[in-house]
Chain A
Amino acid sequence: MQSDETLLHDRPGLLAQPQAAELKAENVVVRFGGLAAISEVSLTVRRHEVFGLIGPNGAGKTTLVNCLTGFQAPTSGRILLGREQTTGWSPDKFRKNGVARTFQAGRLFREMTVLENVEATAVGLGLGRRAAAERAMAMLDWIRLAAQANRIAGTLAYTDERRVGIARALILSPAFLLLDEPAAGMSDGECEDLVEWVATIPQRFDCGVLLIEHNMRVIMDVCARIHVLDGGRSLAEGSPREIQENPAVMAAYLGMEA
């Protein structure tokens, strides 16, 4: 019998997901008709760190995450997972290779139970139902939602919904976890709690986290490096301190940070 702790973050042999050290965007361009949603953006998410991606509404953050997870093919440029070219990979292939994500809109399987929501990914990765349920339960225990395991996901409180979304992405320990505004719509206090919890993920799960979040204070607190997008272009990248002192960033955020 394995302990709950190993169930939480070991990777069963049969689904050993390649453990790349970096997830990289190189000169990515995305055009929707005439509109350039992303122009020549390059960035690297590393294992074991929280990488912040910030920018005003419509800056292209979600579009970039879509590129990094196979939901959007770049018009030009490429996505590399370790040394591997990912051109033509489907989203499920990205997940099978250890790149997991959540959605700004939550997107839980609303008519299914909380347990089934988390189980679905484990089953998608190749586990049988019993093993998947066992791991999903360990995950729910860890995020303290075990008591809600048999509840229909659509009836959860908003903050719990967000955490189930993260659990669903985190099961079977991906190499990279991309969180698209996991705290959207939460109060400042709830947001801080959630992000502090997110900050423990890289060590515990041996993965890299890309975090999109509008609350500057928490972003500055937990990120090792931050990348700033504005109008689809890279504005700056650096440590929280460098970003705070960057005049271009200050200009872009003037008026946003009231």
Chain B
Amino acid sequence: MHNFEFIRATSVAEAAEILRDDPEAGLLSGGQTLLPTMKQRLAAPSKLVSLTAIEALKGLSQEGDSLTIGGATTHAEVAERAVGIFPGLASLAGRIGDPAVRNRGTIGGSLANNDPAACYPAAALACGAMMVTDRREIPADDYFLGVFETALQDGEILTAVRFPIPEAACYQKFIQPASRFSMVAVFVARFADRVGVAVTGASEDGVFRWAEGEAALGAAFTPDAVQGLSLPETGMITDSFGTGAFRAHLIPVLTARAVTSLTAG
């Protein structure tokens, strides 16, 4: 890893100013993605501005039917504290990586990174969450622009994510056992007036909404409504762990499993 100056910011304004003054400076949140990347010398910032001491970026707050989570809130905190508010999201957070990763990794880091197999992007997209930055608010539909690509501009800080809380939600993660990321995972969120279905791990373009699945479940929220559907394998990821055809096949299967678990009993 190349050396850099470490700065622990105490406010978003301070962090933003350092990034404005030095285009080579970078943001550090939980470091679970960035530090391994820097060890491989795929990133070499001049300065690293740590966000994790900024109290305003931490914690969960519920207002009516929306849940706001600070950008530097760890996966472990979401897993523990969202249980009574948004259990589907708590369950997702509790299955990211392993306990030590969850104790450091943050929701803001995950959503800023937008790994094509990451978990939170599926929840954010299925729910139509709002990404709150130090400059503006970006709806999830306009935020995820492709593999490791987001609408964040240089130096823009993701300060919070605001989720509309669904009536019911389920994250079905088919684990890729070597990385513990998803091979394919589907987040199903049911609201009074619509159903959101977002898929991670499958597409070469990153996380996406499965419109056909959403429409089918909007008409009838049953496993049968999606079981017969299929997606084209073109554009799906093929790697040593699975073919594009296998990944395409998993999407309706996992969606149906999510619906089954939400409607059983």
Q: Do A and B come from one complex?
A: no
A residues in contact (CB < 8 Å) with B: none
B residues in contact (CB < 8 Å) with A: none
